[in-house]
Structures are given as structure tokens and as C-alpha cells.
Amino acid sequence: MAHYPDLKNQHVFITGGGSGIGAAVVGAFVDQGARVSFVDLNEQASQELCAKWQKAATPPEFRFCDLRNVEHLQTLIAELGKEFGPVSVLVNNAAHDERHRPEEVTLGYWEDRLAVNLRHQFFAAQAVAPQMKQLGGGSIINLGSMQAHIHTDACVGYTSSKHAVRGLTQSLAKAWGKERIRVNTVVPGWVMTERQLTLWVTPEAEKEIDANQCLPDRLQPEDIARMVLFLASEESRMCTGQDFIVDAGWVNH
């Protein structure tokens, strides 16, 4: 990956960093020499990730957090900001694309999907904003999804949440731009995480990917991490309020 010297020693906070795209993002920032803290529900995967990077100059720091508990999330951000210095980069990565049919959705399930996929992004941003203002600026990177840009009926709670991320990004970019806090969305396509490969990437799905992607290669978590690094660094200093799509040219938008 490209090297961004300005990321060295920066405090980067990542949600859902224990596996998949999140783990790739954690590793990418650790490799840049950043001070990384991350939260996740999966303690075993998170501890294994920390062990993988234990010999790094600045190993990542893990904290358990159920992001539906907004108070706990914001308390952790405050505590970690005091322990490792103000957060200069927030990566709102955590989400869950659990499949469900529209007719099966209850009020409680709908609210849970919004809590898991959208609500925590705003409240994490709200919590880091004072720390970024203290630093004179920062970068907030929200993870969207290609699923919000195509016609799909497989997970309406997830796609609705991810579509709302665009509005969140644009609103916060306007609200905090004068403080040089940049807010952008990274929109991944079909990324070959372990979860996707286990649950959804069937031979039929492979044919769908081949039919819809302009590029023949499979998207990897590291491909998303590359874009996140760019948006975190000063190389993207005049980029804010935008969607950055990394989907290998999915044609069925």
C-alpha cells in the first residue's frame, strides 16, 4: 500500500475492526505507524488480530463494545482520546447485512437494523468532533454499501440504513467543514470477506459478479482499506461530503 507519513502517530478509531473490512483497515493503519484503537463485538477475533500485530511499533488497542449502546460507545471514545491523544481519524465501519424479507420485519427488528447499521455512525462522529476541533481538523470516514445503490429486496433494513449514510456524510461535512473536519463515505462493492465467502458467494453469485463488474478481479478488504487510508491522509485535504465508490465498476447501479 502507499505510505502516508502524516498518518504516523495519529490516533485512529475504528468501529467493527475485528474482522473483514474492519480488520484490513486496522492493519493498514497500524502499518502506517498510526495509533489504532478499535471496538467490536467479537472478542476472540479482535484479540487474535491484536496478537497478529503485537510486534508492530504501535500495536492496536481493542475494546469490547456493542454499538447499540451509544452511551458506552461515546464513553470509550472519550476515554481512549485521553489515553492515546485526541482522535484525528474516525472510521465508521461496523455494520451487519443480515438477510431478511420486507414482510417479515417487525418494528423492533427495524429499529435494531438502524441501530446496528446507522445510528452509531452519527453518535461516534458526535463524540470525536470535539477532539478533532481541538486538533484543528480531522477525517471522518463512513462506510456505505453498493447494496444501497442497486435494486435488492434481500435486506431492506440494511440498505435503508446504508442509503441514509450519504445524508449523514453530507450533513456533517457541511456542519463541521469550517473546523476542517472532513467527512466522506466509502462505498464498497461485493468484497470477498470470510463472511461473504462462507454465506453468499455461491457459483451463481460468482456468475453475477462476472456479469456486473467491469474489472474481472475480486474485491478484497485491502482494496477498501486503500481508499480509507487516502481519505484519512492529508493527500485528500480538499475532499469532503463525497461518495468514493470502490466496486470494480459494478454496472447495475
Neighbouring C-beta atoms of residue 246, cutoff 10 Å:
17
Which of 91-100, 140-149, 154-163, 171-180 is most confident?
Answer: 171-180
pLDDT at 149 over 90: no
Q: Report all structural domains of the chain as residue ranges with CATH numbers, in order of start.
A: 5-193+220-245 (3.40.50.720)
For residue 114, what pLDDT is reported? 97
pLDDT above 80 (res 153): no
Active site residues: 158
pTM of the model: 0.95
Average pLDDT along the chain: 95
